[in-house]
Amino acid sequence: MKFSYVTQLTCSKCSRAYSPDIVQQLCVCGSPLLVSYDFKTLAKMLKPSDLVKRKPDLWRYHELLPVKSPDRIVSLGEGMTPLLRMKKLGTDMALSQLYMKDEGLVPTGTFKARGAAVGVSKAKELGVKGLVMPTNGNAGAAWTLYSSRADIQAVIIMPKSAPAMIRSEVALANSQLYLVDGLISDAGKIAAKTAAEFNLYDVSTLKEPYRIEGKKTMGFEIAEQLGWSVPDVILYPAGGGVGLIAIYKALKELQELGWIDSNKMPRFVAVQAEGCAPIVKAWKEGKKESEFWPDSRTVAFGINVPKALGDFLVLEAIYETGGCAVAVNDEEILKEQEKMIRKEGAFICPEGAAAFLAARKLRKEGWIQEFEKVVVINTGTGLKYMGQEGAELPLLQPDERITRLQVLP
């Protein structure tokens, strides 16, 4: 048995192949690369029951992850988060089988840790010494902490509007943090320039192929926790949308292995905020890609992404599964969050609340039936959204670039 059955990286648009043994970014055609595996061999070698004795973290699926050597794994114990029945909230929505996949119970408090664990582990395996990342906050915190553990230097760029707590979290760890007086899209442009100038690995969403592999373990876990079956509907708060793409990829992989029914796929729902709903707009118009959403804003800052590089993959997952895309209102998001905390004691984040709110709306409209099995992804703990004044940090303008890196202690 090999530790990983990774074979190659494949372009999500033009299918061009790349080696997983050296650092890769986007395809020459400008599209994201996805990781391929040798499912044919693996289907013969591995059975679901082989997993039973493994540790309850995401590395239990190591054959389906890109890291080839177990001693390259950089782990803080991430994965196998609870799948919890939400009876009272379900009753309140007239849903008899409402579940929450709680991604608050991971290192750094959000599902971003999954992407960071696998992304940083693979970066370490590839010999990366430094990386740069634009972020709305949580991904930056996750990549910072895993990079610290891996002895990789991280440069993080986030909007100045990111929560102060996350700023402090990043600042305390072994990374260099820059704020930008703009959006994550502005941070992305600065990151690209910084990567080029300082020879850093640009780990912007989908510009590196491995974080999606970490996130797809949410899909493996949901299937395993439901006894190797899938729910009827999965609702996901979509900013960059990588988690949704990843869960969809995971379930297709499990179908290829014959571990779940190849005829049943959940309907995927991408949930966005009314103040930033490019994917919802594209879906309503039947388009394959979204357009940049100007002046985006929402309390659920993790989904404040005006244009996602992987939008076409999110839309593809929605179209192929008969899903949909829903925009919800900020004020109602906060009410849904409060309802969850008071009814179920689950301190979810606004993004998670947005997804629960979407479930409520879709049930009301009859798009979800009463007895369907519904899984909502809560992408992180609500604790990270409580305000606080942050440290003094360099502040960049959207059109500025980083001209000098600080020296690490």
10 Å CB burial of residue 25 (0-12, 13-18, 19+) is middle
| 135 versus 290: smaller Cβ distance to a copy of itself | 135
- Residue 337 one-letter amino acid: Q
| For a copy of itself, the closer CB: 276 or 346 | 346
CB closer to a copy of itself, 172 vs 192:
172
Q: By three-state DSSP, how is residue 233 classified?
A: strand
**Concatenated DSSP letters of 180-204:** ESS-HHHHHHHHHHHHHHHT-EE--
Which stretches of the chain bind a copy of itself, using CB under 8 A?
52-53, 56-57, 75-77, 80-84, 88, 102, 104-109, 144-150, 165, 168-169, 172-174, 338, 341-347, 381, 383-384, 386-389
Q: Burial of 166 by CB count in 10 Å (0-12 exposed, 13-18 middle, 19+ buried)? A: buried
Least Å from the CB of residue 381 to a copy of itself: 7
Least distance in Å: CB of 118 to a copy of itself?
Answer: 15
- Measured from the CB atom, the residue of 306 and 382 that comes closer to a copy of itself is 382
Q: Rounded distance, CA 192 to CA 307, Å?
A: 16
**Shortest spacing between CB 391 and a copy of itself, in angstroms:** 11
Query: Cβ closer to a copy of itself: 313 or 340?
Result: 340
Q: What's the closest the beta carbon of residue 110 comes to a copy of itself, in angstroms?
A: 11
Shortest CB 201 distance to a copy of itself, Å? 17
Q: Are 233 and 266 in contact (CB under 8 A)?
A: yes
Report the alpha-carbon distance of residue 237 to residue 358 in Å, rounded: 9
In angstroms, give the least distance from the CB of 175 to a copy of itself. 9
Which of 306, 253, 315 minimizes the C-alpha distance to 284? 315
d(CA 306, CA 290): 9
- Which amino acid makes up residue 234? I
Taking the least distance from each CB to a copy of itself, the nearer of 37 and 59 is 59
Rounded Cα distance between 215 and 113, Å, is: 9
For a copy of itself, the closer of residues 100 and 355 by Cβ is 100
Q: Find out whether 250 and 285 touch, Cβ atoms under 8 Å.
A: no
Q: What distances in angstroms separate CA 183 from CA 192, 236, 276, 290, 303, one per listed residue?
A: 15, 22, 12, 17, 12
CB of 164 to a copy of itself, least distance (A): 8
CA angle 202, 73, 47 (to 5 degrees): 115
Tell me the closest approach of the beta carbon of residue 14 to a copy of itself, in angstroms.
Answer: 36
Outline where DSSP puts E strands in 274-387: 324-328, 373-378
Question: Cβ of residue 240: shortest distance to a copy of itself, in angstroms?
Answer: 22
Query: Nearer to a copy of itself by C-beta: 58 or 325?
Result: 58
Q: With respect to a copy of itself, which residue has the nearer C-beta, 114 or 149?
A: 149
Cβ 78 to a copy of itself shortest distance, Å? 8
Q: Which is nearer to a copy of itself, 361 or 384 (CB)?
A: 384
For 196, 229, 374, the CA distances from 369, given in Å and listed in that order, are: 50, 19, 10
The amino acid at residue 294 is P
